[in-house]
């Protein structure tokens, strides 16, 4: 991994390197240079979420794209999975999404998809990063400079695509509360679910540029839980800022994890004989209960590093149909190339209707082991395996937990944070053991 690209594209604080206008322009140029020879009339589709900095960065990226002789097609405010879909559906040579996903509004990012709608592998990211850093002087002549245009029906195209994935789905008897995180789904979700006939309540659909993910969305489901109870709804569904994650709330206001949603959807596919290889791909962050639930269903797990693109790589290699992360990224490879919160919503609702059971019952397919995750701010990111104090405390905690828990310590791929995750037999023991590791990391790296 290079110095610009993290686990999900380039990310940082807006207007500060690498999320400044200059670097965004160079990134747009580099992506266009990388992919322009795939098409005689090349274009790149560009979407953004609702962050204040989105206009600045998307226009800078578009300028870079045009400077390399490629047309830039603005999709407007639209979910990340829509950019992936439209990159493929429109014959573009690439797609670029301007978003920092679930991060606070001050952050922003650049996510890149190829012409087939897939996120880039490490090798391609390294090539693009090299072009950015070297600031290539490969200018096209004035008569070949790209143009900028807008796709006015981009959201409709995406919504039609989602509806085709669940033909005949009728939500007339479902009352659902939606939390759109003041983000990219704030118009798409209401249009989609009202078309499907849901008795829907929509929350956090008033973005102002700075309130994206602010005490709302998939990272903050408390308000959604209360709303589900207040409205006596069948379930609640929360997206993150760019719409590629889903977290659900059952009819009693209890929050389900991404792992639990995947187990429910995996069972549906398995029962219908549609789960290729009887396999589900997940990351090292998935709960112990997730693996036990799959084992009980006769489904094999496959494990990858953190990052939905690594999940997808494994899915392609293993010909698996379903994969995702406990954080709420879910990929249904029979219909899409990337994580899609609204697509996952549709598949989850299909399962509810098919089973004729409330979400609280379906969630019992998986017992969630107590888990504590603490993010520790760090000044830099030295190799954890080469710091004796950290290695020692991790070994000590692992020995104490034995086969009743596990420890995972890793750096964030997008922020200066070290993530400490501990699972154990009880909440009290899990929290205590996690705090032991956190204290050592703070002492050494804080």
Contacts of 229 (CB under 8 A, 6+ apart): 252, 253
Query: Is 356 part of a structural domain of the chain?
Result: no
Residue pair 263/362 in contact (Cβ under 8 Å)? The answer is: no
Tell me which residue range forms the domain holding 441: 371-445
356 annotated active-site:
no
Is the separation of the CB atoms in 302 and 149 below 8 Å? no
Q: Could you say which of 130, 152, 174 is where a domain stops? A: 152
Average pLDDT over residues 316-320: 95
* Structural domains counted in the chain: 4
Residue 221 phi/psi, 5° resolution?
-85, 5
Find the range with the poorest average confidence among 136-145, 201-210, 239-248.
Answer: 136-145
Instruction: Verify that 318 and 205 share a domain, yes or no.
Output: no
Q: Please indicate, yes or no, whether residues 75 and 145 belong to a single structural domain of this protein.
A: yes
In angstroms, the CA 6 to CA 217 distance is: 23
Q: What is the pLDDT of residues 41-64, one digit of tens each?
A: 899 999 999 999 999 999 999 999
Residue at a domain's end among 217, 236, 252: 252
Q: What strand order describes the sheet that includes 5-6?
A: 5-6, 9-13, 107-114, 94-98, 43-48, 71-77, 148-150
Report pLDDT for 395.
96
pLDDT at 343 over 90: yes
- 322 & 428 share domain: no
- Give CA–CA dist 348/343, Å, rounded: 9
Question: What is the mean pLDDT of the segment spanning 4-13?
Answer: 91
Residue 415 has what pLDDT? 80
In a domain, 352, yes or no: no
- Ranking 1-15, 38-52, 74-88 by mean pLDDT, the lowest is 1-15
Torsion angle (degrees, nearest 10) of CA 243, 246, 247, 248:
110
pLDDT band, very low/low/confident/very high, at 76 (cuts 50, 70, 90):
very high
**Could you tell me if residue 222 is inside a domain?**
yes
pLDDT band at 7 (very low <50, low <70, confident <90, very high): confident
Whether residue 89 sits in one domain with residue 57: yes
Instruction: Give the Cα-Cα-Cα angle 34, 37, 41 (nearest 5 degrees).
Output: 120
- Per DSSP, which regions of 100-227 are E strands? 107-114, 148-150, 175-179, 199-203
**Percent of residues, the chain, with pLDDT higher than 70:** 99
- What is the band of 136 on the pLDDT scale with cuts at 50, 70, 90? low
Whether residue 194 has pLDDT greater than 70:
yes
Average pLDDT over residues 225-230: 98
Domain membership flag for residue 311 = yes
**Do 318 and 421 fall within a single domain?**
no
Query: Is residue 145 located within the same domain as residue 166?
Result: no
Average pLDDT of the chain, as a whole number: 95
**What is the pLDDT, as a whole number, of residue 214?**
97
* Residue 219: Cβ-neighbour burial (10 angstroms; 0-12, 13-18, 19+): buried
Indicate if the pLDDT at residue 79 is higher than 70: yes
Q: Are residues 15 and 146 in the same domain?
A: yes
- Clarify whether residues 10 and 133 are in a common domain: yes
| Residue 351 placed within a domain | no
pLDDT value of position 58: 98
Mean pLDDT (whole number) for 297-310: 92
Distance CA 229, CA 30 (A): 49
Residue 191 belongs to a domain: yes
Question: In Å, what is the CA distance from 208 to each residue of 150, 214, 362?
Answer: 22, 11, 37
Indicate whether 100 and 72 sit together in one domain: yes
The span from the CA of 258 to the CA of 256, in Å, is: 7
At residue 309, the pLDDT reads 86
Verify that 115 and 11 share a domain, yes or no: yes
pLDDT given at position 135: 74
Report the Cα 423 to chain-centroid distance in Å: 23
What percent of the chain lies above the pLDDT cut of 90? 89
89 domain-assigned: yes
Determine how β-strand 199-203 pairs with β-strand 175-179. parallel
Q: Are residues 206 and 273 in the same domain?
A: no
Give residue-wise pLDDT tens across range 346-388: 999 999 999 999 999 999 999 998 989 999 999 999 999 999 9
Among the ranges given (86-100, 133-147, 283-297), the one the predictor scored with the smallest mean pLDDT: 133-147
- The answer as to whether 237 is a domain residue is yes
At which of 252, 268, 298 does a domain end? 252
CA distance 201 to 364: 26
Name the active-site residue from 43, 67, 101, 327. 101
**For residue 292, pLDDT beyond 70:** yes
CATH, residue 63: 3.40.120.10
Q: In the prediction, which pLDDT does 1 show?
A: 41
Shared domain check, 68 and 47: yes
């Amino acid at each position: 991994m290079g110095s610009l690209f993290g686990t999900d594209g380039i990310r940082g604080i807006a207007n500060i390197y690498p999320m400044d206008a200059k670097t965004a322009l160079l990134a747009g140029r580099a992506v266009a240079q990388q992919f322009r020879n795939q098409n005689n009339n090349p274009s790149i589709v560009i979407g953004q979420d609702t962050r204040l900095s989105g206009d600045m960065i998307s226009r800078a990226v578009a300028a870079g794209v045009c400077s390399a002789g490629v047309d830039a097609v603005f999709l407007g405010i639209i979910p990340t999975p829509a950019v992936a879909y439209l990159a493929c559906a429109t014959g573009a040579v690439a797609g670029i999404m301007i978003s920092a996903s679930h991060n606070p509004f001050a952050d922003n990012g650049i996510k890149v998809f190829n012409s087939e709608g897939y996120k880039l592998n490490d090798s391609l990211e390294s090539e693009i990063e090299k072009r950015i850093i070297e600031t290539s002087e490969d200018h096209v002549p004035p008569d070949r400079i790209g143009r900028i245009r807008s796709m006015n029906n981009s959201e409709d195209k995406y919504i039609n695509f989602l509806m085709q994935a669940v033909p005949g789905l009728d939500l007339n008897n479902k009352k659902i509360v939606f939390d759109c995180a003041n983000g990219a789904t704030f118009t798409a979700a209401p249009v989609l679910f009202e078309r499907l006939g849901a008795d829907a309540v929509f929350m956090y659909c008033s973005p102002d540029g700075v309130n994206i993910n602010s005490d709302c969305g998939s990272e903050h489901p408390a308000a959604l839980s209360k709303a589900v109870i207040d409205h006596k709804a069948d379930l609640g569904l929360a997206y993150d800022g760019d719409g590629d994650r889903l977290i659900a709330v059952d009819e009693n206001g209890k929050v389900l994890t991404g792992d639990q949603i995947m187990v429910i959807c995996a069972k549906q596919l398995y029962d219908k004989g549609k789960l290729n290889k009887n396999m589900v791909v997940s990351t090292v962050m998935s709960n112990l209960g997730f693996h036990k639930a799959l084992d009980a269903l006769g489904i094999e797990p496959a494990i990858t590093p953190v990052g939905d693109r690594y999940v997808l790589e494994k899915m392609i290699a293993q010909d698996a149909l379903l994969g995702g992360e406990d954080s709420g990224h879910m990929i249904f490879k029979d219909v899409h190339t990337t994580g899609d919160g609204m697509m996952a919503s549709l598949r989850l609702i299909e399962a509810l209707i098919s089973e004729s059971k409330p979400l609280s019952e379906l969630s019992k397919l998986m017992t969630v082991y107590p888990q504590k995750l603490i993010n520790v701010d760090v000044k830099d990111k030295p190799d954890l395996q080469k710091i004796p104090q950290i290695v020692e405390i991790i070994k000590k905690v692992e020995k104490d937990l034995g086969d009743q828990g596990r420890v995972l310590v890793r750096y964030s791929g997008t922020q200066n944070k070290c993530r400490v995750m501990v699972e154990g037999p009880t909440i009290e023991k899990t929290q205590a053991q996690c705090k032991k590791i956190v204290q050592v990391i703070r002492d050494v790296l804080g």
